[in-house]
């Protein structure tokens, strides 16, 4: 893993374990997992289906808690925060892009991007949302609902929503999984362009090795451990 000073890290995981009780006994997904991510880095976490990539994302984002170990965001230990504090941290500092877009079908593109800004009380959320929809090439589709947009357009709305909150950390979980190859390449080009512009740390969860190769670092999740993958 990268050997950085703590002040240079946005995310640290120390000796993290996650297990689940089953009728046949305890199933351990991770054991003594360690990870350090520097501010502004782009990281790809790759691994086969079922390796636990999405579960790891949930732990790193504070959506779930580890069975053992510690995860810190910008020096704050997530296990010391209550649910409300973790929710506030995510609202102000962390964004997500998912494979299935997660747009609200009853809201148009503008309102889907504007909603998280309104929830946290940003000034002029309308102008911010319009700016970011313009950045992803959807300035003419503000009043269109998800059902009126193609898969690629829906994912661009999701990207605009993610960057509109100016996150320090952006998680993208299989962001091209529901897109055709050409559209997927366009979406990824847009994602990395905006990432470079804004300086947000990018953690990309994917099984696509070609996509992972575009990140500065690549980590393979295998048998509950992360292993650095050489270029």
Residue pLDDT, tens place only, 108-155 = 999 999 999 999 899 999 999 999 999 999 999 999 999 999 999 999
Query: Which pLDDT belongs to residue 179?
Result: 83
pLDDT of 56 reads 92
Superfamily of structural domain 6-229: P-loop containing nucleotide triphosphate hydrolases (3.40.50.300)
Can you give the pLDDT at residue 3? 41
| pTM (2 d.p.) | 0.88
CA distance 153 to 49: 26
Q: Collect the ranges in the chain with pLDDT lower than 50.
A: 1-5
Domain boundaries, the chain: 6-229
pLDDT at 157: 95
Residues contacting 8, CB < 8 A, separation 6+: 38, 39
pLDDT computed for residue 48 by the predictor: 84
Residue 66 has what pLDDT? 93
């Amino acid at each position: 893993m990268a050997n950085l000073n703590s002040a240079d890290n946005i995310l640290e995981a120390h000796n993290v374990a996650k297990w689940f009780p089953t009728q046949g006994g305890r199933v351990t997904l991770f054991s003594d997992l360690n990870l350090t991510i520097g501010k502004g880095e782009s990281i790809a976490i790759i691994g086969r289906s079922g390796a636990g990539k999405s579960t790891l994302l949930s732990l790193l984002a504070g959506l779930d808690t580890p069975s053992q170990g510690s995860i810190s965001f910008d020096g704050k230990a997530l296990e010391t925060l209550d649910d409300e504090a973790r929710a506030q941290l995510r609202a102000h500092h962390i964004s997500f892009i998912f494979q299935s877009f997660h747009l609200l079908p009853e809201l148009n593109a503008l309102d889907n991007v504007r909603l998280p800004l309104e929830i946290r009380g940003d000034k002029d959320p309308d102008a911010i949302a319009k700016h970011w929809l313009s950045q992803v090439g959807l300035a003419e589709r503000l009043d269109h609902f998800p059902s009126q947009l193609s898969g690629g357009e829906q994912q661009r709305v999701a990207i605009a929503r993610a960057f509109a909150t100016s996150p320090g950390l952006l998680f993208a979980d299989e962001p091209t999984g529901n897109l055709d190859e050409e559209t997927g390449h366009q979406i990824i080009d847009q994602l990395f362009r905006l990432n470079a512009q804004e300086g947000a740390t990018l953690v990309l969860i994917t099984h696509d090795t070609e996509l992972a190769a575009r990140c500065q670092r690549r980590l393979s999740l295998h048998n509950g451990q992360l292993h650095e993958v050489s270029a």
